[in-house]
Structure 1
Amino acid sequence: MIDKQSPIPIYFQIEELIKKQIADGILKPGEALPSEREFADMYGISRMTVRQGINNLVQQKKLYREKGRGTFVSWPKIEQPLSKMTSFTEDMKSRNMEPGSKLLSFKTTKADEPIAKVLAVEEGTPIYAIKRVRLADELPIALERTYIACELAPHLTADTLNHSLYSYFERTCGYSISDAEQTIAAVLADEEDARWLTVPAGSPLLAIRRQTRLEDNRVLEAVYSHYRGDRYHFVTKMVR
């Protein structure tokens, strides 16, 4: 409730009220907020005061605006530490989120020159080309393209992709995964990104390329992912 007799500014009370409704699950990620007029009428305060409280939450990334549509609750950002190598499935489970994926394509093809170079195989080598939308609690997080030499996983099937690939490689194939090299860059969403990640074209994304190696130094996979910039960020610990 709003206490007009309190020394705490009303706009700040509006902020705290909305944040509590988000924390309690009354307002859910992606859900539209009532209009400024509805808030003002509900609590008997001015629209300007409501607007100030909402503007502060937009600046804090708790809310976001879409032109012509209104103000919505932001999705919480997912942190991934850069110091530890995990699969997407492991990463989501560690955050008590339900990992998932939507398989867009799974085919065998021949490695072109750029992919062959990253996989350290000859051009024309048979490879799996996999395209998936990665989900967390059924919400799209990333559009991912994975390339694997067929000889490393001759029995890979579409059903396998419903589970952690790293678990499959380690438990079924018996591989020991050593390390990965990962590069991160900022890009803007194209039409395909926008379609599958449910963001407007031109939205900021994190473009990530990962090259994973086995203990014997063979390249296991090359993964190219576009992560939603509003839902994912990376953290690293630095010491001097």
Structure 2
Amino acid sequence: MSPESTPLYLQLKDRIASDIAKGVYKPHSRLPSQRDFGEDHGLSHMTVRRAINELIQEGTIYGRQGSGLFVAEPKRDAELGPLISFTEDMRLRGMTALSKLLDTRIVSASTSLANILGVVVGHPLVFLRRLRLADNEPMAIQSTFLPSSLVPGLLDLRLENASLYQVLQAQYGLKIVDAQTSASADLASEEEAALLQLPLPAALLATEQITFLDDGRPIEFARSLYRGDRYRLQPAPRKPPTR
């Protein structure tokens, strides 16, 4: 393999990634074994393993115990913009966004949530935990907190598969216009991996978002856990949300 200035494992990694991008290997198709890669390219087992491990960590390929290596689905961009929403994101991709309610209840604001949402400690908050799906495939787990004083009776409404932001505007006249978003990497717990149908260990893309009303008040704090094998970060345009 060449050029000599590039480490051999990177050359192999780039070759495999390039073949996947060109369609030589299709999503979920089986790849040659590590031994085959080594023999085909005259590389040591350690060199091949390093290339394969990096491709797995990046979500380009995945392994099944006893079955070998397979090509992962292409990653979708998780836009790190203040006004992107899961519902709108899926609509733009020609997919149907669905939500499954995992938990709904009233909780007391902790010190950190009180500071974020501009309420006193102990203030009642509406808590929603949802599994977000695209064309019935689980994509993310989202936990949302809203001041109950701004959304009285929210839990009495039909929220399954509803756009939360549309509900807030239609039912309460609340218009979301801005948000602050941050992101980090995380590892899935056993429960999270099961909900997202991922084998352990599973990498997740974790985002935290505070959304604001047109009068500047914070209305929502949401923590979302996206499948690391389906999403990567990309800046998003500023546009009205419809989550």
TM-score relative to the length of structure 1: 0.73
Report % sequence identity.
34
| 1:1-240 correspondence to structure 2 within 5 Å | 19=23, 22=26, 31=28, 33=29, 48=36, 59=55, 63-83=61-81, 85-157=83-155, 159-236=158-235
Aligned counterparts of 1:104 and 1:236: Cα–Cα separation in 2:
29
1:90 partner SS: helix
Aligned to 1:26: none
> Structure 1 counterpart of 2:93, which letter?
R
Shift of 1:234: 1.7
Shift of 1:160: 2.2
Aligned counterparts of 1:21 and 1:153: Cα–Cα separation in 2:
50
1:71 partner SS: strand
Q: Runs of 5+ in structure 1 lacking a partner?
A: 1-10, 23-28, 38-46
Q: What are the superposed Cα offsets for residues 155-198 of structure 1, whole Å, 9 maximum, x if unpaired?
A: 31362242111111223322221211111111112222212112
Q: How many residues align?
A: 207
| Structure number with bigger Rg | 1
Shift of 1:35: 8.1
Q: What are the superposed Cα offsets for residues 60-115 of structure 1, whole Å, 9 maximum, x if unpaired?
A: 96542223233334223111333451221111111111111221111112212222
2:212 partner SS: strand
CA contact (8 A) 1:87 1:166 kept: no
Aligned counterparts of 2:182 and 2:31: Cα–Cα separation in 1:
42
2:132 partner SS: strand
TM-score relative to the length of structure 2: 0.72
CA contact (8 A) 2:82 2:179 kept: no
